[in-house]
């Protein structure tokens, strides 16, 4: 199963422990999974790519089991969007700071304005002077 799903066997066992996967049937001590498990594992992977925690993914799957999957997905997405917006804003601030740092020609970090204030509010004189030249 692990090979078919493209994940480690230890991850599958972990998913069983936390409730993402139902306990499998066993034959001669080996776990035997039904074909529906591949779909659940794909749901886990898609949820993780979207930034959901395993706890949120478990909640989503429980909603699917109760016929409330679409409602749970909407609620989780609405809760997650503000976090993603904040993450994007932080990434844009970091990018701006790094762009200024890439242009920096200060002789010392002690005099560099990049280290004197908030990254999003820096008006880096040496980078601005270079751009104007």
pLDDT at 4: 62
Residue 37 tokens read as 């498990």
**The pLDDT of residue 128 is above 60:** no
Residue 80 tokens read as 């997650």
Q: Give the C-alpha separation, 22 to 17, whole Å.
A: 9
**The pLDDT of residue 103 is above 70:** yes
Bridge partners (DSSP) listed for residue 25: 32
Q: Give the C-alpha separation, 103 to 128, whole Å.
A: 9
Between 101 and 119, residue with greater pLDDT: 101
- Write the CB contacts of 61 (distance below 8 Å, at least 6 apart in sequence): 20, 40, 43
Q: Give the DSSP per-residue string, 111-127.
A: T-GGGTS-GGG---HHH
Q: Count the Cβ atoms, other than its own, within 10 Å of residue 96.
A: 15
Q: Provide the percentage of residues in the chain whose pLDDT is more than 70.
A: 83
pLDDT at 31: 81
pLDDT in tens, 77-94: 999 999 999 999 999 999
**1-67 sits in which CATH class?**
mainly alpha
pLDDT band per the 50, 70, 90 thresholds, residue 123: low
Mean pLDDT confidence for 58-74: 84
In the chain, where are the structural domains located? 1-67, 82-133
């Amino acid at each position: 199963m692990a090979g078919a799903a493209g994940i480690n066997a230890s991850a599958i066992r972990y998913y069983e422990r936390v409730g993402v996967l139902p306990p499998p049937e066993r034959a001669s001590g080996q776990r035997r999974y039904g074909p529906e498990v591949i779909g659940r594992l794909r749901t886990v992977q898609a949820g993780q790519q979207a930034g959901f925690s395993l706890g949120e993914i478990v909640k989503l799957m429980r909603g699917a089991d109760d016929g409330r999957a679409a409602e749970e997905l909407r609620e989780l997405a609405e809760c997650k969007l503000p976090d993603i917006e904040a993450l994007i804003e932080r990434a844009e601030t970091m990018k701006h700071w790094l762009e200024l740092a890439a242009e920096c020609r200060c002789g010392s970090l002690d005099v560099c304005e990049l280290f004197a204030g908030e990254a999003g509010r820096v008006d880096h004189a040496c980078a601005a002077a270079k751009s104007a030249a």
